[in-house]
Amino acid sequence: MVPERRRYPRMREVVFRLEAERPGHLEAKAETLPIRITAPTLEELQHEAREALIEHLGPAHCTVRVRVRRDPRAAVSSIRSLGRHAALCR
């Protein structure tokens, strides 16, 4: 006899896109849900995203992975040079 397979809820992903980034103030909006959040740091923004999902989805929030992403164009320009020359690879 073959054991019965359990059906677990599928893990979903909600991406929060960073819309405004100033020192001490970050704003993000979920791409697929009508949720907007703000926080002073990226770590707190992640926490606020989870809290917003708990409020919006209820118990189903456990099946959702939260991601916070910057605009791809902004991510590259936000990398600042440290003023050092690149090390040579041999």
Which tens digits make up the pLDDT trace of 7-36?
655 678 899 999 999 989 999 999 999 999
Per-residue pLDDT tens over the stretch 76-85 = 334 444 455 5
pTM tops 0.85: no
Closest CA to 72 of 12, 15, 14: 15
Per-residue pLDDT tens over the stretch 29-71 = 999 999 999 999 999 999 999 999 999 988 887 888 899 998 7
Instruction: Provide the domain count of the chain.
Output: 1
What's the domain range around 30? 12-73
Task: Judge whether 83 lies within some domain.
Answer: no
* Token pair 């320009």: residue: 77
Describe the strand order of the beta sheet including 12-22 as a list of residue ranges: 36-39, 25-30, 12-22, 64-69
pLDDT at site 3: 61
Task: Judge whether 48 lies within some domain.
Answer: yes
